[in-house]
Structure 1
Amino acid sequence: MNSASRSILFLSASLACMAGPALAEVASSVTEVVVTGQRQAYRGLFTPEETPQSLVVISQRTLQDNNIAGLTEALDLNAGVARQNNFGGLWDAYAVRGFAGDENLPSGYLVNGFNGGRGFGGPRDIAGVERIEILKGPNAALFGRGEPGGTVNIVTRKARFGETGGEVSASLGGYSARRADADVNLAAGQVFGARLIGFYDEAESFRRTVSTERYGFLPSFGFRLGEDTTVTYDLEITRQKAPFDRGVPAIGGVLGKVDRRTFLGEPGDGPIKADATGQQVEIQHDFSPAWSLLLGAGFRTTSLTGFSTEAELAASRQKLNVDGKSLSRQRRFRDYEADHAVLRGEVSGDFQALGVRHRLLVGADFDRFENSQLFLRFRPAAVSGNPSDQAANVIDVFAPVYGRFPLPTPGPQTNRLDVQEAVGLYIQDQISLSDALQIRLGVRYDDFSLESLNRATGVSQTRSESRLSPQVGLVWTAAPSLSLFAAYGEGFRSNIGATAKGEIFEPETSRSFEAGLRFTLLEGDLSGTLAYFSMRKSQVLAADPANPGFSLPIGKAGSQGLEFDLNGRLPGGIEALLSYAYVEAEARSDVLDPNFSLQIRKGDRLINIPAHTANAQLARDFAVGATEVRLGAGVQHVGERLGETATKFELPAYTLVRLFGAWRATDRVEVFGEIQNLFDETYYTNSFSTLWVQPGSPRTGSVGVRLRF
C-alpha cells in the first residue's frame, strides 16, 4: 500500500484525533442513527405494519454486537438468505428465498436505493453501514430488475446537520487479524455536514499462505439549500487484495479427507486486486408535508485483476480421479472491468380522493451497465495421454509443494464486452379503504437493450425487450396486535451476456406470491412475522463449468416455503432475535448440460439452498457498579444442501455457536470481544462442484476498543 493510499485510509481517524478535544459530546448510544428528512427511494413512508411484504432489518447494534465486517456474514443472521458460490472469496454471493441470479456475477444489492452489487469491487465491507434491509416478496412494481425472492438494501450513515462527534475503534483477532474504523461527523450548523468514514482490515487465514488486505474511505456530505431542500453526496473508494481460493476437493465425493487448512492454489500467483470507486448524489425537495421529490444519480466503476491456479473440473483432465491425491490444476488470468451509471427520479404524495387516503409513488429510472471481461486460461493435459505432473500442473492434496513447476502461461479464452441499457417507469398507490384495510396497486414498465460483443471474433449481437410488471398487495389490521398481508407480483430482468457459442440470452421473467401475518406480544415489546411464499421464474442461468465466464440457460425454477422472524425484548430485559426458514427450491424443467452431459431434471434441488435454516440470538445489559456490561450468545443452523448441480453431492448440515460481550467503562470508552464457532465445528459454507468446496473458519475470536467523543 503506497503513501497516498495510507493517507486516504487514515484521514478520518486523523481528523478525529485532532478535533476530539473540541468536539461536543454526543449520545452514548449509536444503535439507531436517523438522517433527518432523508427518504429512501422506492420505499415511500410506510411502517412495517402497513407494508404487504416481509421486511427484515439488521441494525447497526446487531452488527457491532457480532463484530461483523462483511455483508455476507451480516446476511447469515437471517434464515431466508443462503450463501452461494463466492468466486474464490472475491465477491458476495447469496440467494434470498432460494433464488440467486446469475452465478457469473456478484449478487445484486442496493446502496441507498442505488444498485451497488453489479461489478467486481470485491466483498462489501460493513464500514459506514447504518442498517441492512432485506425486502422480501413481490417487489417487481418498484424494483423491477431484482430477484423475485427479495432485495437487499444497504442504508449508509449520512452526514448529519447540527451534530459534531464520532467514534474510532481498533481490534485484534485470531490469525493475525487487525482492523481499524473511524466515523467522524463534522457540522457547520444546520447548513452543512461532513461524515468521514474509513476502515483498514488486514488478516491472515486458517487457510495456509492466504492473507487479505482491505481499506476504504466512504465519506458523506450533506447540504441544506433551504428549509425544504437537501442535497447529499456520497463517495466510495475501496481497495482489496486477496488470493483466489477455490477451497478444498471432496475426493470421490467425500469431504474431510483433505485438511480444511490446505490451500491448493499457488502463492506465486500473488493476490487478486478488486477496486471500487463510486459516487452518489441525491436531491430531496419537500413541496409540503404531503408531497416530496427525490432525484438521484450514481456512477460506480469497478475492476478485478490477477492470476489464479484452480482445480480443473473436466473429469477427462483430472488426475485426482486416477490416484486420489494428484490434483490437476488450471491457471487463469482475469482482467474484469465494469461501469455502472444510474439516474432516477421519484415523486411521492399523500392525499385524499373519493373519500379515501392515497399514498402515491411515481418514478422513473435509467440504468447503463458495461461489463468488460478479458479471460486467459491454461488447462492441464488429458489424463488419457498419461501426462507428466508438470503437464497436468498437479499438486499433492495431502503434501502440497508450492512452486514445484514454473507457472504456466495462460492463453486466450474470453474477450467480451456486454453493454446493457434499461429504462423503467413505475407507479404505486396504496389506498386506505378503511382504518383496518389497505390495498396496494402498482405497475412497472421496463424497456432494455443489450449488446454483446465478442472482441476475439468481432461478432456482435443485440436484443431489445419491454414488458409491464404488475403488483397488488393487501394489508388488513385484524386487531391492534395482529395484521395480515398478501401480495402478488411479476418481474422482468435482462440476462446479460451470451453462451460460449455466442447465443444471446432471453430475459428472465418471474412471478411471486406471499401471504403472512404480523403480530406483537408483551405489550408491543416483541414483534414477529410468519410468511408463506411461492415463486417461479423462467430463463434461469447457471455458470457454464466448461467455459468459465459464460453461463447456460437451465430453463425454469421454482421456490416455495415458510419463514418466521421474531425480535424484541423478553421479560428481564433480554433482547431476542429469532429467524427460521423452510425453503424448497428446485428446477421446474428437464435440461441436458451440453458440456458434461449431466441431466438436470424437473424436481432437482437448486445448488447451495438448504431446506432448513435457523438463527437465534439473546443479549442482555447488566449494571456493574458505575459501568455497564453487555453479554450475548447466538446459534446458527444450516441444513444439508446440494453441492453440485445435477448430482447427488451434498454439503453436510452444521450448527455454529457464537458469544459476544462489551464493557462500557465510561460513556466514551467501550471494550468489546466475540468468539465465533465456539465448539470448533468443521463445516462447509458453499460449493460449485466436488472440487471447489469452501470450508468454514475454525474457532476464532477478537477483542477491541471503541472510543466515542
Structure 2
Amino acid sequence: MELHRQRFLFATLLTAASCGATAAAAEESSTTDPKATRQVQAELPAQQIVGRRQSGQYNASTSAGATKTDTPLIEVPQAVRVMTRQLVDDLSAQRLDDVLDYAAGVSRQNNFGGTWDNVAIRGFAGHEDSTMSMLRNGMPANRGFNAPRDTANLEQIEFLKGTMGALYGSSEPGGTLNLVTKQPRFTAGHSVEGYVGSYNYKRMAVDSTGPLNGGGDEAPTLAYRLNASVEDKDSFRDEVHSRRTLLAPALTWNATPDTQLRYDGEWLRQAAPLDRGVVVVNGQIDAVPVSRFYGETNVADTTIDNHTHQFFADHTLSEQWSLHGGLQLKRGTLEGFGIEQVPFGGPDCATSMNTRDWLCRRLRYRNFESRETSVQLEARGKLSTGDVKHELMVGVEAARFTQDRTMLDHAGGLRNSLGISVSNPVYGRVTYPPLSALNVNRNGTLKDNTRALYVQDVVSLTSSLRLLAGLRHDRATSRNTSINGSSSEQEPRATSPRLGLAWMIQPTLSAYASTGRSFRANTDRDTTGNFFAPQRGKAHEAGLKWESQDGRLSSNVAVFDITKTNVPTNLDPNTELYGSAMSVHNKGVEFELAGWVATGWRAALSYVYLDADPKVKQFARHSGSAFLVHETTLSSGDLVGLGGGVTHVGARQGDSDGQWGDTPVQLPAYTVAKLTAYWNATRQLRVSLDVDNLFDKTYYTSAYNSVWVAPGAPRTVIAGVQYKF
C-alpha cells in the first residue's frame, strides 16, 4: 500500500507540474541575474534545461562554493573538482555515493548501515557519527541526521579540496563538499524518467520548470522548478528492501530589476533495514557470501525524514556592490529498531564466531531528532586601490542547532538468545527483550549556538598574479545534557586564516600555492565527561592548472600536506567515551582531467597517491578512475552514445585497528568496471542502459570492525527511458 501511495503522489505531482508550466522566451541563464530576464531571446531547447543532458561538459570554469565570487577556477589557488550534471547523468548516478570514485582523493567511509553519506577527502573523514562537513548551496547541510543524498535535484557537486575554514568555519582540513541544486528557469521544460533493473529496482523521476507569470510582451518575473522521485527496490543483500521519496520545489522571483528572491526546499524520506554488512571469520574476509544479512526480517525499518528550507535574497546596490542573504531551516529525524551483530562483549561473543559458528547480536531502538536554523548575510563588492583590483566580501553567520537523542538497549547489551548462525542464518526465531536507556552518554540533548564574522579579498596584483586572502572568527557555546541530569559545556573559539597565490603563466595555464587553517568543535567527551578541545587543522597545497582555449577540457595536479590535532581516540565501547586525543598527518599527490578530449569523445580521469598517517585507516595508498564516452550522430539524425569506466582502490586496513578486541580487517584492492549506452531516438525520447560492476567482481568498500564490513554490489543492470516535452 505504501508503494501505491507513493506512485499516486508522484503522478499527482507530475500532472500539477506540467499543467502549471507555460512556454516563455527568457534566457535560461537569467536565473542568476535579475536584470538578464528582461532581455528576451530565442527559446532554448528544453533538453538543455531538464532531464538527462546530451553533448554537455564534464569540466566547469567556475564554482559556486570555492570563493563565493565569479573568480574563474583557473585563478583560484586550490584544487576544486566540479562534477557537472552531464557527468552525473552519464554515470547514471542516483546517489552521491555513485560519483565518489571519480574524484581524486575522495573515498567512502562507514555509512551507519546505509543510513547516511560519509565521505573522506584526502584522508580526513570527520566524526564517525556526524560525518564530514557538507554544504548545500553554500550553507551548512550535514549536521543532524541526513539520508543518503539523491541526485535528482542536483545541478553539480563541488569537491572543494583543502581547508575551507576561512570561508565556512567548522570543517575538515582535507576538504568540503558543496551540493548545488537545480534552479528555476524562465524557459519551460519538462522531463519524465523511468528505470527498472536488477534486484527489483524501480524508480521514477520528474523534472519540470518554467515561468509562472508573464506572456505576450511582458517578461516573466516568477519561475518554478519541481524535482521529484520515487524509488522502490530490493538489494543484493538478503532480506533487505528500501523505499525512498524525494520532493524538491524551488521558486525564483525577480521582485525588481535589482532584487531577486529564491526559495529552495527539499523533503527526503528513506525507509530501510539497518544493515551492518558481512563478517570476517578466522581472518578471512570472503568467508561468507556478500549477500548474507545478519539482521532480522521482523524488525521495523529505520526511517529517516529530512526537511530543508532555504531562502535567499540578492540585491544589487550598484555596479560594484551587492548584498546576499540566506536563511536555512532544517529538521531531521531517524527512528526505528535495529538488530545488529556486535563487535565486542567478552570471550563468549569475541570468539564464538570462530569456534561455534555463532554470531552475537544486540537489539537497539533509536529515536533521534535534530533542528537547525542558520543565517548568512554578505556584502560583496569590487574596488581598486591604484592599479590593484579587489573583489571583497564581508559576511556574518549565526546558527542554532539542537539534537535530541534516545537510544534504548536490552539489559547487559548482549544476549546469546539474539544470536544467529554465521553459515546458515535463520530469521524470525528470536524473542525480543525489554529495552531501556542504558547508555547515559547516548541519551540526552545537545545544544549549539554559533556566531561568525568572515572577510575575503581576491586581489589582482598584476595582470598575471591573483592573491586570495581570507579570515574567519567563530565563537560558539555548546551544552550536552544527559538523561541522568549530568551536563558538559564548552565555548570553543577559533580564528581560521587562508592565503593563496595564483600565477597566470598563460591565460590557460596557472601555478598556485596556498596555506590555511581549519577547526572543528569536538562533541566527543573524555573519561571525565568533559568535551575535548576543538580539532585544529593546517593544510599546505601547491599545484598546476590547465584549460584548453575553448574551455572544453581542463586538468590539474596538486601536492598537499595536512595535519590535524586533537582527534579523539581510544574509545571505550561500553561507555562510548574517549581516553585520549591524537594528531594526524596526511600528504599526497592528485591528478584530474575532465572534458572533451576529441570530437565526440568526453573523458574524466583521476588519480591520487595518498600517504596517510598509519593511525588512521580505510585509506588506500593508490586509487584512480577513468570514464570515457563516445557520441556519434547516425545518418538518421539519432544520437548514440557508448562509454565505460573503471575505478581502482588499493589495499587498505579497516577502521578498528583491534580496538574492539578483534583482529584488524585487511581490505583487499579492487578494480571494477561499468558500461553505459544511450540512444536518443528523437529529440524528446531517450533510452539508456547501465551496467555496474561489469565483470561481477567481489569487493569491499569499508570495514568499521570485523563484523561490520560493507560489501560492494555485484553486477547490476539498469534500463531507463527518459522523455522530454
| Shared fold per TM-score greater than 0.5 | yes
2:535 corresponds, among 508, 512, 536, to: 508
1:348 matched to 2:367? The reply is no
Q: CA separation of 1:156/1:21 partners in 2, compared to 1, >3 Å: closer, same or farther? A: closer
Distance 1:410 1:65 in 2: 47
State the 1:636 CA deviation. Answer: 0.5
State the 1:222 CA deviation. Answer: 0.8
Aligned to 1:163: 187
Aligned to 2:701: 685
1:437 matched to 2:462? The reply is no
Aligned to 1:304: 334
1:233 matched to 2:259? The reply is no
State the 1:641 CA deviation. Answer: 1.5
State the 1:408 CA deviation. Answer: 2.9
Question: What amino acid is aligned across from residue 13 of structure 1 in structure 2?
Answer: L
Distance 1:124 1:525 in 2: 28
Question: What amino acid is aligned across from residue 637 of structure 1 in structure 2?
Answer: H
State the 1:325 CA deviation. Answer: 1.4
State the 1:526 CA deviation. Answer: 2.9
Q: CA RMSD, aligned part only?
A: 2.4
Aligned residue runs from structure 1 range 265-280, under 5 A:
265-280=295-310
Aligned to 1:54: 79
> TM-score, length-normalised on structure 2?
0.90
Aligned to 2:357: 325
Structure 2, unpaired ranges of 5+: 25-42, 215-219, 659-663
Aligned to 1:109: 134
State the 1:241 CA deviation. Answer: 0.1
State the 1:496 CA deviation. Answer: 2.0
2:48 corresponds, among 29, 34, 41, to: 29
Aligned to 2:622: 612
Distance 2:655 2:411 in 1: 21
Distance 1:119 1:552 in 2: 25
Aligned residue runs from structure 1 range 316-395, under 5 A:
316=346, 317-318=348-349, 319-321=351-353, 323-378=355-410, 391-395=416-420
Query: How big is each residue's C-alpha offset from its partner over 1:184-214, in whole Å with a ceiling of 9 and x where there is no partner?
Result: 1131233101111111011100101101000
More displaced 10-residue stretch of structure 1: 332-341 or 491-500:
491-500
State the 1:75 CA deviation. Answer: 2.0
1:214 matched to 2:244? The reply is yes
Question: What amino acid is aligned across from residue 650 of structure 1 in structure 2?
Answer: Q
Distance 2:570 2:4 in 1: 40
Q: CA separation of 1:686/1:15 partners in 2, compared to 1, >3 Å: closer, same or farther? A: same
Q: CA separation of 1:703/1:20 partners in 2, compared to 1, >3 Å: closer, same or farther? A: farther
Q: CA separation of 1:563/1:152 partners in 2, compared to 1, >3 Å: closer, same or farther? A: same
State the 1:704 CA deviation. Answer: 0.8
State the 1:557 CA deviation. Answer: 0.9
State the 1:525 CA deviation. Answer: 4.3
Asked if the contact 2:584–2:615 (Cα under 8 Å) also holds between the matched residues in 1, the reply is no
Distance 2:87 2:151 in 1: 12
Asked if the contact 1:380–1:393 (Cα under 8 Å) also holds between the matched residues in 2, the reply is no
SS of residue paired to 1:87: coil
Aligned to 2:724: 708
SS of residue paired to 1:12: helix
Aligned to 2:637: 626
Query: How big is each residue's C-alpha offset from its partner over 1:357-399, in whole Å with a ceiling of 9 and x where there is no partner?
Result: 11111111112221211111237788xxxxxxx7352111111
Question: What amino acid is aligned across from residue 126 of structure 1 in structure 2?
Answer: T
Distance 2:275 2:693 in 1: 21
Aligned to 2:655: 644
Distance 2:575 2:205 in 1: 37
Query: How big is each residue's C-alpha offset from its partner over 1:533-555, in whole Å with a ceiling of 9 and x where there is no partner?
Result: 11111111359461487666532
Distance 1:375 1:550 in 2: 16
Q: CA separation of 1:324/1:529 partners in 2, compared to 1, >3 Å: closer, same or farther? A: farther
Distance 2:78 2:267 in 1: 34
SS of residue paired to 2:86: helix
Distance 2:386 2:489 in 1: 47
State the 1:8 CA deviation. Answer: 4.7
Query: How big is each residue's C-alpha offset from its partner over 1:653-708, in whole Å with a ceiling of 9 and x where there is no partner?
Result: 10010000111111111111100000000000111001110111000110111111
Aligned to 1:223: 253
Asked if the contact 1:130–1:155 (Cα under 8 Å) also holds between the matched residues in 2, the reply is yes
Question: What amino acid is aligned across from residue 695 of structure 1 in structure 2?
Answer: P
State the 1:467 CA deviation. Answer: 2.3
Distance 2:230 2:377 in 1: 35
1:192 corresponds, among 195, 218, 222, to: 222
Aligned to 1:249: 279
Distance 1:497 1:644 in 2: 18
SS of residue paired to 1:269: coil
Aligned to 2:474: 446
> TM-score, length-normalised on structure 1?
0.92
Structure 1, unpaired ranges of 5+: 383-389, 587-603
User: Matched residues, percent identical?
Assistant: 33
Distance 2:134 2:300 in 1: 29
Asked if the contact 2:121–2:174 (Cα under 8 Å) also holds between the matched residues in 1, the reply is yes
Asked if the contact 1:96–1:149 (Cα under 8 Å) also holds between the matched residues in 2, the reply is yes
Distance 2:365 2:379 in 1: 46
Distance 1:42 1:229 in 2: 22
Q: CA separation of 1:350/1:397 partners in 2, compared to 1, >3 Å: closer, same or farther? A: same
Asked if the contact 2:335–2:366 (Cα under 8 Å) also holds between the matched residues in 1, the reply is yes
Aligned residue runs from structure 1 range 454-493, under 5 A:
454-455=482-483, 457-493=484-520
Q: CA separation of 1:196/1:261 partners in 2, compared to 1, >3 Å: closer, same or farther? A: same
Query: How big is each residue's C-alpha offset from its partner over 1:248-273, in whole Å with a ceiling of 9 and x where there is no partner?
Result: 11112211111111100111112100
Asked if the contact 2:650–2:669 (Cα under 8 Å) also holds between the matched residues in 1, the reply is yes
Asked if the contact 2:362–2:413 (Cα under 8 Å) also holds between the matched residues in 1, the reply is no
Q: CA separation of 1:368/1:693 partners in 2, compared to 1, >3 Å: closer, same or farther? A: same
State the 1:626 CA deviation. Answer: 1.8
Question: What amino acid is aligned across from residue 520 of structure 2 in structure 1?
Answer: R
Distance 1:272 1:327 in 2: 22
1:546 corresponds, among 560, 563, 573, to: 573
State the 1:3 CA deviation. Answer: 8.0
Asked if the contact 2:7–2:230 (Cα under 8 Å) also holds between the matched residues in 1, the reply is no
Distance 1:703 1:261 in 2: 23
SS of residue paired to 2:432: coil
Asked if the contact 2:163–2:172 (Cα under 8 Å) also holds between the matched residues in 1, the reply is no
Query: How big is each residue's C-alpha offset from its partner over 1:296-316, in whole Å with a ceiling of 9 and x where there is no partner?
Result: 100100000111111121151
Distance 2:234 2:578 in 1: 33
Aligned to 2:89: 64
Q: CA separation of 1:657/1:5 partners in 2, compared to 1, >3 Å: closer, same or farther? A: closer
Question: What amino acid is aligned across from residue 29 of structure 1 in structure 2?
Answer: Q
Distance 2:570 2:184 in 1: 41
Question: What amino acid is aligned across from residue 490 of structure 2 in structure 1?
Answer: R
State the 1:649 CA deviation. Answer: 2.5
SS of residue paired to 2:418: coil
Question: What amino acid is aligned across from residue 224 of structure 1 in structure 2?
Answer: N
Question: What amino acid is aligned across from residue 15 of structure 2 in structure 1?
Answer: S
Question: What amino acid is aligned across from residue 498 of structure 1 in structure 2?
Answer: R
